[in-house]
Amino acid sequence: MKYWYWFCRMMIAGVLIAGCDSGDGDEEYDGLLEIKLQRSIVSAYDVAQFANVTCEGDWQLDLSYPEEEKDWCSVSSHNGHGNAKVAVNYGKNEGKKSRTVTLRATAGGKSVETVLTQKGVDESDPDEGKSWMELPGIAQGSNYRFVTHETTVGGKKVRNYSMLFDTKERIAYWVAYPHCSMYLGSVGRTEAWQTDPNIPAGQQMNASVRGYDRGHQIPSGDRTAARGMNEQTFYYSNMTPQLGRFNKKIWVDLEDKVRTWAKKCDTLYVVTGAVLQTMGGNEPVRYATDGSGKKIAVPNYYYKVLLSLTMEGGTRKYKATGFWFEHKANTGSVNASYMMAVDEIERKTGWDFFKHLPTDVEMEVEKQLVPGDWGLRN
C-alpha cells in the first residue's frame, strides 16, 4: 500500500508539472488587440494621459525610442490581463524640438503599436500649459480654438471659464470652469447676447437658431458675482442648439443640482460637454440654421463631469462623477440612472479629464459611481 501511495503521488506530480509547461514559444493570439492613446500629439506642457489597452488575454507593453533620444516616458503597468487603462507619464518637454516614443502592446505572437509625439516648447502654445484643475487635455486640430475668458472680482483678475471651440461646426466641445462662492452673488441674468470677441463672428452662431433654444454650457446662474462675468456667459460661443424640452427641463434641473453641490465643498470643478459622435461611433450629425443662414452642428449627447474638492485639516479630499444625456425631449428630473463614471465618459468622448490630479488619485476618483455621495437615487 505504501508503494502504491507514493507511486500515485509521483504520477500526479508528473501530470501537474507537465500541465504547467507552456512550451518553448508563445501561444498564438487571435483575439482583438488594440492600444489607443487619448492624444497622439501633445503640447510641450502636457505631462500625462492614459492609454487604453484592449485585449482578451495576457498582454505586455513596451516602450521604444529613436536612437538619438533618451528614456523620457513611463507607464504605470508593463503587463496585464484583459482590457486596461494604463497611465502614461512624460512630463514637460523642456527642449525646443518634438520627441517621440512608440508604445507596443504584445499578446502571444501578435503586436500593435501607437506613437506618441510631444511637441517642443517652440512649437507649443503657452496657454496649453495652464494647470487649472478643470482643464481637460487640449486636443490639436486646425479647426480647434482654445479660449479662456477672464473676469474681475473685487479688483482681482480671475479666470471665468475656458473652452475648446470648433470653428467648422461652430460649437464648443467642452466648457470648463471652477465653481465656488467667489463666483456667486446677486447679479441676475444680463441677457447680454453677443459674439465672442476672441473668435471671428462668422465662426459662431448669431442671435437665433431656428427650432432650437440657445443652450448655455456654463450657465448664467453659475456666474452672478459681477455683471461682467455674467455677460460673458451669453457669448454665442458658449451656446449650442438645444431642444426646448431638454434645455428648460432636465438640463436646468442638473444645473440647479450642480449649484447645490458646489455649496457643499470648497471648489467644484465642472466640465460641460457637447458630443456630435462618440468614439468609434457613426451617429449622424444634424445641423440647425441660425438667423444669418449659417449651419450649426446639433449635439447628439451632452454630459457634465464633476470633481469635488473639500479641505479637511489641510488634506485635499476629492470625489468625482459624471452625467450623460441623449439630446432629446426630456421633462423628467435628474436621478442616479443618468450618472456615469468619468472613466466611461472619457471612453465615449476621447477627452482626458482632471489630468492635473496625481495619477493615483485620478485613477481612483474617475472610476467612482456612488449616487449616495451626491444625494441621488434611481
If we measure between CA atoms, which residue out of 133, 125, 112 comes closest to residue 177?
133
Q: Give dist(CA 273, CA 137) in Å, integer.
A: 13
pLDDT at 104: 96
**The amino acid at 190:** T
Tens-digit pLDDT profile for the chain (378 aa)?
Answer: 433 444 444 444 443 333 334 344 456 788 899 999 878 888 887 777 778 899 999 999 999 999 878 889 998 889 999 988 888 888 778 898 999 999 999 998 899 999 999 999 888 766 555 678 999 987 767 789 999 999 988 888 889 999 999 999 999 999 999 999 999 999 999 999 999 999 999 999 987 899 999 999 999 999 999 999 999 999 999 999 999 999 999 999 999 999 999 999 999 999 999 999 998 888 999 999 999 999 999 999 999 999 999 999 889 999 999 999 999 999 999 999 999 999 999 999 999 999 889 888 999 999 999 999 999 987
Question: For the chain, how big is the Rg over CA atoms in Å?
Answer: 25
- The confidence score (pLDDT) of residue 206 equals 86
Report residue 159 as a C-alpha cell. 479666470
> What pLDDT is recorded for position 136?
92
Residue 82 burial (C-beta neighbours within 10 Å; 0-12, 13-18, 19+): exposed
Q: What stretches of the chain adopt beta strand conformation (E)?
A: 33-37, 41-42, 48-55, 58-64, 74-75, 79-81, 84-89, 99-107, 110-118, 144-153, 156-166, 171-179, 213-216, 239-242, 267-275, 286-289, 295-298, 301-312, 315-326, 339-340
Beta strands of 108-142 (E only): which ranges?
A: 110-118
Please say whether the beta carbons of 88 and 114 come within 8 A: no
- Separation CA 318–CA 364 (nearest Å): 10
Question: 311: buried, middle or exposed (CB in 10 Å: 19+, 13-18, 0-12)?
Answer: exposed
Which pLDDT score, from 0 to 100, does residue 35 have? 94
pLDDT given at position 172 = 97
CA dihedral in degrees (8, 12, 13, 16; nearest 10)?
180
Domains and CATH numbers, the chain: 33-118 (2.60.40.10), 130-374 (3.40.570.10)
Query: Quick one: DSSP state of residue 341?
Result: -
Cell, residue 373 = 455621495
What is the pLDDT, as a whole number, of residue 89?
A: 82
Cell numbers linked to 229: 462675468
Q: How many helices (H) and strands (E) does the chain have?
A: 6, 20
Q: Pick from 71, 292, 104: which is nearest to 202 by CA?
A: 292
The pLDDT value recorded for residue 140 is: 66
The identity of residue 158, as a single letter, is V
Distance CA 371, CA 257 (A): 13
pTM given for the model? 0.73
